[in-house]
Amino acid sequence: MLIRKIETFPLFYHLPKPYGDANGLKTYRTCYLIRITTDLGVEGWGECVDWLPTLHKGFQERIIPYLIGKSVTDRITLVRTLKKWHSRSSAAVSMALTEIMAKTCNVSVCDFWGGKFRESVPVYASFQSYSDKANWQKHSLKAIEQAIHQGFDKIKVKIGGKSIHEDQQHIKMVQTLLQEKIGLALDANQSYDIIAALRWQSMLDTWPNFLWFEEPLEISRITEYVWLRSRLSAPLAGGENLEKAADFMPIFLQYALDFITPDTLHVAGIDGYRETLSLARSFGTRVTPHSYDGALSRLYAIFAHACLEPWGKMGEDSIEPLEWDVMDNPFTKLIGIQPSNSEISIPSGTGIGLEIDSEMLAFYQWDGNSYG
């Protein structure tokens, strides 16, 4: 079975109301989808993300010419080559080829991977807490309140983009709203040093509903993470931008984090992503996946989590939650799945078991010119 055609769908959405984290405000969202069709007419979809002009040029001039005529069964070899050229493009290709193989075998992606442990996985509502509003804290609280009404029992909010005093004011207001009944995680996006991170210690120690403290330091500072983990009672999390399973080894070997947060679009290829999850289990490190961009990346994180063995024996099914971006982003709605009571059901059917919304693809198609 050979690759006959590859179509690309660069998508762009200008945010009417900017939002952001410690890295600054975002004014747009992008997503890059591909559809691979074989000589037998079997189709598979994939997703990646990067600067759209770079992605589009790379696919049209190098990646597509390379893939046309290649055998779908050479997925691992093809993805390994693409990782050397452009790591993030390999995510889309590996997803599409995985779906094609699952469809060819007349099974779901989960069954193609060997079967799932569960029919649903837990999710948490993830926020970009900052806006261009003078009253950004109240704006954030309103969004959190909406998520609670939708049934989420765990949330993650951003810190590190304002002064520690302003951020702590905000988090105190959040805790008043949550009344310690909703789980809370904080994400600093690598914006602190150790001294700044320790200024959160007294607050973290008093919160019974606290889930984890995500990336307070640059993720490369493994020794400092080990020291910080010995000082804080709060679990530490991180690793969303690491690109391969081997990059997590220093974290595992030195027990620097309680949770790793790999992303299906950042770890090169969906097989490499699953390898990372398996490696984490071998070292007894928990996994709460980062998922911020589009619907397919989130769906494959869900599939991988469904197929991941339980973390421990402390409950009937000890499985960690994965991120559910609740911000304004139409690309997470390209397929029709929504959580219910902080759980997302695993789609059934062959392949991914879902259809891509073709009208949305056409509506948000990037024109090749406007950006930002």
Q: pLDDT tens, 150-189?
A: 999 999 999 999 999 999 999 999 999 999 999 999 999 9
Q: Is 199 helix (H, G, I), strand (E, B) or coil?
A: coil
Out of 22-26, 279-283, 365-369, least confident range: 365-369
Is 149 tagged catalytic?
no
pLDDT digits (tens, 9 = 90+) for 54-71: 999 999 999 999 999 999
Q: Out of 116, 158, 244, 266, which one is annotated catalytic?
A: 158
Rg (CA), the chain: 20
* pTM, two decimal places: 0.95
pLDDT digits (tens, 9 = 90+) for 104-140: 999 999 999 999 999 999 999 999 999 998 899 999 9
Q: Out of 154, 170, 244, 290, which one is annotated catalytic?
A: 290
Q: What is the pLDDT of residue 85?
A: 87
Q: What is the pLDDT of residue 268?
A: 85
Which alpha helices (H) appear in 126-269, and where do they start and end? 136-149, 164-178, 194-198, 201-205, 222-231, 249-254
CA gap 31, 364 in Å, rounded = 10
Q: What is the pLDDT of residue 25?
A: 96
Is 170 tagged catalytic?
no
Averaged pLDDT, 345-366:
94
Q: What is the pLDDT of residue 16?
A: 96
